[in-house]
Amino acid sequence: MHLPFLPAIFHIFDRQRKYAVEGMGSKQSPSPHSTSSVQVVVRLRPLNDREKKHGTLPVVSASTSDKSVTVIKGQGSRQARSSYVFDNVFTAFSSQEEVFDATLKPIIRDVLQGFESTVFAYGQTGTGKTHTMEGDIDNSEMQGVIPRSAKAIFETLNSRKYQEHSVSCSFLEIYNEDLCDLLVDPSDTNPKLDIMVGKNGPFCRGLSEQQVSSAEHVLDLMRRAQNQRQVGETSMNKQSSRSHCIFTIKIEAKRRLEDGSILEVGGKLHCVDLAGSECAKSADLERGNDSQASRERERKNINQSLLTLGRVVSMLKEQSQSRKKANVRIPYR
C-alpha cells in the first residue's frame, strides 16, 4: 500500500487584473510573487489508522530545505528513487499555521493591493485537501487556510490606514456538472446558476454574495455550507468530498497613502477545494448496485474535470512560454 504525497496546492495569480481605481500617490512596493504566475506546493499527510493497522510503509519522503519530494518504487536491488522539486514542500509534521504563513499569507497582501488570486488543493481522495483548505473551523489550531485568510484580511482592514471597507463571500459547489449555491437554503426557490462570460471574464450568474463584517461571520457561512456539501464514503475515504467547491472573498476598500491621497482597491481571493481523484481499481465499485452506480458516476465526472483542469494548467504554461501566444488554445469548459 502506498502513502500518497498529495495534495498539492497550486497558486495561480492573475497579475493583469488590478482594481486600483484612484489615488495614484506614492509608489507601491512590488509583490514578492510579481515574477511568478503559478506556484506549486506539496504537503505530505501522516499515515492514517488503517495504514498503521496494516503496517504500511511510507514510500514518499520530503525535504523542506531543498523543497523536494522523493518517491520510492520497488524493493531491494530493484528499488528506484525519483525526486521532484517544487516551489515549497511541507512534511506530515507541518502545522496548519506553517502552511498558511508560507502560502496564503503573501497572497493576502496581493489581494489587499487589488489583485485577484486563486489557490486550489488538488490530489487523490483521502490525502487531506479539505483539511488543508478548511480544517476544523471550531479549533483555532486546526483551522485551514480559508478561516485563517478571513482572520488575516479583517485584521488588516481594521487597521487605521483603511478608512472604509466592504467584504462579501460566495460559495459555489460543482457536483456531477451541476452548480449549487451553498449559502442559500436548498428548500427555497432559487435561481438557476449558469457559467457566463462577461466583459470582466467568466462569472456565475445567479450566485449569491453574502456581506460579512468579521472573521467569525465567515466561519458561520462555512458551517452552513458544510451541512450542504456533497460527501460520501468510498473504499478509500470514509468522508470523501464528491464535489468541487469554490469559496470567494471579495474586498473593496479605501486606503490612505503616505502622501495623504486615497487609494481605492478591489481584490478577490478564490479558494478552491477540489474533489479527490480515484482510479476505478482502487474504488472497487460493484455493478448492479444503485448506490455504487451513483458513486461510479461521481468518480467519472470528478476524474474528467480534473483531467481537463490539468490540460488547462499545461496550456497556460505553454502559452506563457510561447512567443505566438495567440496560437495556443486554452481548453476551458
Would you list the DSSP string of 65-88? TTTEEEEEES-GGG-EEEEEE-SE
Radius of gyration of the chain (CA): 21
Q: Which residue has the higher pLDDT, 218 or 321?
A: 218
pLDDT value of position 29 = 39
Confidence (pTM) = 0.81
What is the rounded average pLDDT of the residues 225-238? Answer: 65
Of 326 and 26, which is predicted with more confidence? 326
Angle among Cα 67, 143, 31 to the nearest 5 degrees reads: 50
User: What are 177's three cell numbers?
Assistant: 456538472
**Whether 106 contacts 118, CB under 8 Å:** no
CA dist 309 and 58 (Å) reads 28
SS3 label, residue 33: coil
Nearest partner of 268 among 282, 244, 279, 252, judged by Cα: 252
State whether residue 14 is helix, strand or coil: strand
Q: Which of 179, 175, 202, 206 is nearest to 302 (CA)?
A: 175
Write the pLDDT tens digit of every residue in 147-175: 999 999 999 999 989 999 999 999 999 88
Q: Amino acid letter at 21?
A: V
One-character DSSP codes across 226-276: HTTS-EE--SS-TTEE-SEEEEEEEEEEEEE-TTS-EEEEEEEEEEEEPPP
Helical H segments across the chain, by residue range: 49-53, 96-102, 104-112, 129-133, 145-157, 215-226, 280-283, 290-321
Between the alpha carbon of residue 145 and those of residues 40, 49, 83, 208, 274, the distances in Å are 15, 25, 27, 22, 14
pLDDT given at position 17:
44
How many Cα atoms within 13 Å fall on the side-chain side of residue 48? 11
Q: So what's the pLDDT on residue 313?
A: 79
